[in-house]
Structure 1
Amino acid sequence: MHLATLLMIILAAGLASQWLAWQIRLPAIVILIASGLLLGPVTGLIDIAMPPEELTELIGLGVAIILFEGGMDLKLGEFRRVGHGITRLTTLGPLLAWLLGALAGHFVAGLTWPVAIVLGAILVVTGPTVILPLLRQARLNKESASLLKWEGIVNDPAGVLLAVLAFQYFTVSGEDWGTVFLSLGKAIAVAGLLGGLGGWLTGWFYRRGAVPTHLKPPMLMVLVLAAYWASNQVQHEAGLLTVTVMGLVLGNMQLAEREPLRHFKENLTVVLLSVLFIVIPTQLDASHLQAISPSSLLFVAVVLVAVRPLTILTATIGAPMRWQDKVLMAWIAPRGIVAAATASIFGPALVEAGYPEAQILMPLVFLVILATVIIHGLTLAPLARRLDLAAREENGLLIVGANDWTRALANELKELEVDVLVADGSWYRLKPVRMDGIRTYYGEVLSEHAEHELEDEHLSYLLCATDNDYYNALVCKALGGEFGHHRTFQLAPPRESSDEQRRLTLQQRGYFAFEPPIDAYSLNHRLREGWSIQSIRLSDIFDMDRLAEELGQPGEDWVLIGSVSPQGQFSLYSRDHSFNPDKDWLLVYFASNS
């Protein structure tokens, strides 16, 4: 098969698997691995005619980009809030997981000590490639999510480095501890130099305009790959630690281009994950699958119910963490792309070094990946809700801007048992809202404080309703990715319909709520004239058409705000989106009391 055809099949299968996983609400890695197994060992459609060493090097480049992107997501502000737990999880945690995993590999899976010790190190990793999508699905509170995210991203290179050192000890250095400690020192030094200093210098040059804006994202990708390659020349597999440190440094610098750079990496990561999780399973063949035995399945069970819980509970003894977080983390530890890639590297290498039982390394790791991703992916959200660590189902409204009209809307939604939260930077504007018993957030919604403290995971819509149209647009664009741009709305500017040339384009703002030209001034003015927020239930006799007949011209005589379905699901109305409430739906509208 031609290389171009093969590449197109891999890309199409990978992205189709991602889309299917989103549709059926399963972790994407499950569908990707299944697709890889189907296209590789089962049907033989994908056969990559490339030496294993070269394929491994290409896989390593993809993993480097993924880990760098994960490092950019780590915020030092999160560490300051939950550092007491993160420190234990990223220092004691990897060592305990390594020890217990090696014991399970030897006594349960029946592996020799060298292979068991390398396997234990590989299974230290939990992986941002799996953790981050699961966190988005589960809507954990921000402190619990930070613990899982930091552990996953930091422990990935730690586990790889432990596997490298164990491999070198048994195969290269002739079981010489001096060589092992020298290798560890070299890995840390090169990560600090190329990752830490290199990342800071990159940010320093970017700040000063030494690189044009359109070249910054692609040039950063090349610099990351160069740092990864150079680190590996100094110390085998030190590159993953380097790129993680580099991402952490750049992600916490005050760069004006931080968000565009991060979005570029996120998009690239989606494609890389789609490709890697298709390619790696294709390397399994019938001999690998035949090597799986009952002891292998027992080993996976021990990893799930003994190794992980003992690791977390021991590492966090005396740590000032909530017991609910300890229980959650003792259960949740899905493995991802780094574990798979590392196993594909060291399995064949150990076989060549004289450890034939290492041929089971890759299928064992894939078993652990499949088991943890499926089981933890399906149980994370229910367990988090049971422990009161997760938001309820998405249903509610975040209102940015406290004024008389938004206060009236919030009170009506509260009466209808719809979750509502009002955010504003003025303590005095929020005071009457707080007095009504409505949840509020005092502060700037775009601040770092809000990123850590504003609990909005359970809310489904955003309405920016301040009297500053450009601020409304800024908030909509900043939070559109979190809520979904189709659920991100702002009030229209005055004279919107008659001043087409002066308005912001849709790419620069949110969708307009209600019927333009409804703006903040007109809503508050009508409220003072005696209008009020009202609700009515539709029926077979009294439907939308009948309501419109009674109330008059939409936007002039009344304003449709939204609806609440019979199941209690809130929807905000916009002329830009279809809106078809039916019998037994509650309509929320703004009209005169007369």
Structure 2
Amino acid sequence: TKTALIDFGKILLFGFTFGFTFAHGLAFVIKKNYVPHYLLNVVSLSVVLLVYVESDILAHESGLLAVVVMGMVLGNLDLPNLKELLYFKESLSVLLISILFILLAANINISDMELIYNWNTAILFIAIVFIIRPIGVFLSTKGSSLKFKEKLFISWVGPRGIVAAGIASLFGSKLLQKGEPGAEYITPLVFMIVLGTVLLNATTARYVARMLGVFLKHSEGILIIGASKMSRLIASYLKQNNRHVVLIDNNHANIDQAKKLGLEAMVADVYSDTLGDNIELNDMGYLMALTGSAEINEYVIERFNHQFGENGSFRLVSAEEMNDPENNPEEGLFSHTDDFIKLMEAIRSYPAVHEIELKNGKHYQQLIDITNEDDEIIPIFIKAPDGEIHIITSFNESFNTISDGYKLVYLGKMFDLDKIH
């Protein structure tokens, strides 16, 4: 027992020490740009392999702990190229896991599978799929923001068991060599569970998702490019009205301010090739370009219109378009008399979003005429009685369906109700 505890202590000591030290060392090298960008993935992989081998030499079985600790530390550091490393890791994981499955399966003979060809195996499979795995998922997600139906779906399409398959192949063969009774069942049983769940879950995942109501039918999320104070005000209002909003900006200060407000925001470059692959943006259906650069706004609409703006893509009008209302763009936002500078000047004096009840279409048009004359009032949305929000565009300001119960949502100074008849 004493020897086992000493060995376990050595594993913890070397695993945590190597993982923590090399993680900060690699982070330092990356931040200082000592490694050329095109060699970043190769160098990172080489360091991981080095940590694994060196730690394992000094304390047997500590290599795996060292690289796990290294990954955890790197994942929580502010690395500029973390996304690229993650994409490389995902590609590498798919490749290695596929190879590992093939190698492990090569150790299984048909005669081994015939050993478990009975009703007891079927009972075990059912217990794992419908009892054991759901219990594990619900316990591990306790306290998370996942809904009950989402947890059920995760239970159905849960982990495939590559770790279990690897351990079973390793220990099963060793126990079999030592003549332990029942050892011949370990490896084929684990592979049967892995194979069965893969076939069952992969063929039924879509139907189960529809049945549980977790299938994404419509992309209703709103992606806002630019996280300025104006964007944060608009995003906060949309979030309060139960809309999924994500802010993107390459300015860290803007993103930090957005996160302090409880908004979902991320540092990203719209010119990056990886933005379109971000899984966190898979439910985006509306695109709003609200940066201070007309060129960036136009670029965003042109590049990401089909990917993130299937329900609508909009941008602020430029200073030139604002002075030429006859050539107003169809994707123009809010008002043809307000560009980014005017919007920022308005919210600098009146940093708030307001709502005002609408009586009919005529009343709405009267309010729009007032906003065209007052630079400190900017109309942004029409809110329907059922809570649905319609974006006001600079191209077409008319809403024929407006009646009692609708609201005009606007930025800046509040309307002087005494002037509205």
Q: TM-score with structure 1 length normalisation?
A: 0.42
| Partner Cα distance (2:221, 2:283) in 1 | 9
**Correspondent of 1:253 among 77, 96, 99:** 77
Tell me which residue corresponds to 1:458.
Answer: 283
Which of the pair has the greater relative contact order for Cα pairs under 8 Å at 6+ separation?
A: 1
* 1:307 alignment partner in structure 2: 132
Matched letter for residue 400 of structure 1? I
Amino acid at match of 1:252: N
Residue matched to 1:493: none
Counterpart residue number, 1:43: none
Structure 1 residue identity aligned to 2:22: G
Give yes or no for the alignment of 1:367 onto 2:213.
no
Corresponding letter in the other structure for 1:521: S
2:65 aligned residue = 241
Asked whether the equivalents of residues 219 and 284 of structure 2 are also in contact (C-alpha less than 8 Å), the reply is yes
Displacement after TM superposition at 1:343 (Å)? 2.2
Deviations 1:331-353 (Å, cap 9, x if unpaired)? Answer: 55322332222222222112112
- For residues 248 and 236 of structure 1, the distance between their equivalents in structure 2, rounded to whole angstroms, comes to 21
Q: Is the 8 A contact 2:168 2:186 kept in 1?
A: yes
Q: Which residues in structure 2 correspond to 1:55-74 (within 5 Å)?
A: none
The Cα shift of 1:455 comes to 7.4
C-alpha distance 440-277 of structure 1, shift in aligned 2 (>3 A): closer
Residue matched to 1:185: 9
24, 27, 52: which one aligns with 1:200: 24
Q: Secondary structure at the match of 1:283?
A: coil
Query: Cα–Cα, structure 1 residues 214 and 315, in superposed 2: closer, same or farther, change >3 Å?
Result: closer
Cα distance 1:252–1:313, how it changes in 2: closer, same or farther (>3 A)? closer
| Identity score, percent | 26
Task: State the one-letter code of the partner of 2:11.
Answer: A
Instruction: Say whether residues 1:278 and 2:98 are aligned partners.
Output: no
Letter in 1 for 2:174: A
Cα deviation code 1:534-588 (max 9, x no counterpart): 9xxxxxxxxxxxxxxxxxxxxxxxxxxxxxxxxxxxxxxxxxxxxxxxxxxxxx9
Distance, in Å, in 1 between the alignment partners of 2:126 and 2:298 is 51
Corresponding residue of 1:430: 234
Distance 1:396 1:589, change over 3 A: farther
**1:487 partnered with 2:312:** no
Instruction: Please give the alpha-carbon distance, in whole angstroms, between the structure 1 residues aligned to 2:164 and 2:299.
Output: 40
Give the corresponding residue for 1:342.
167
Q: Whole-Å Cα distance in 1 between the matches of residues 295 and 163 of structure 2?
A: 43
CA-to-aligned-CA distance 1:175-210 (integer Å, 9 cap, x gap) = xx4444334333322220121222122212332344
Alignment-mate amino acid for residue 55 of structure 2: S
SS in 2 for 1:335: coil
What is the deviation of 1:519? 8.7
Q: Which amino acid aligns with 1:341?
A: G
SS at match of 1:304: helix
* Aligned residue type for 1:344: S
Query: Any gaps of 5 or more consecutive residues in structure 1?
Result: 1-176, 403-422, 490-512, 535-587
How many Å separate the matches in 2 of 1:343 and 1:451? 42
Q: Deviations over 1:480-521 (max 9, x none)?
A: 9xxx997268xxxxxxxxxxxxxxxxxxxxxxx89xxx9942
CA RMSD of aligned residues (A): 4.9
Structure-1 separation of matches of 2:236 and 2:32: 46
Q: Work out whether residues 466 and 520 of structure 1, in 8 Å CA contact, stay in contact via their aligned partners in 2.
A: no
* C-alpha separation in 1, matches of 2:10 and 2:117: 39
Measure, in 1, the Cα distance between the counterparts of 2:301 and 2:71: 27
Within 2, Cα distance between the matches of 1:466 and 1:387? 39
Deviations 1:383-407 (A, max 9, x none): 566666x4622535735259xxxxx
User: Where does residue 402 of structure 2 map in the other structure?
Assistant: none
Partner of 1:266: 90
Q: Per-residue deviation at 1:364?
A: 1.3
Tell me the equivalent position of 2:318. Answer: 521
Q: Which one has the bigger helix percentage?
A: 1
Secondary structure of 1:426 counterpart: helix
Q: Does 1:230 align with 2:54?
A: yes
Contact kept, 8 Å, 1:332 with 1:380, in 2: the verdict is yes
Alignment of 1:13-24 (within 5 A): none
Candidates 375, 392, 395, aligned match of 2:219: 395
Return the alpha-carbon distance in structure 2 between the equivalents of residues 335 and 439 of structure 1. 34
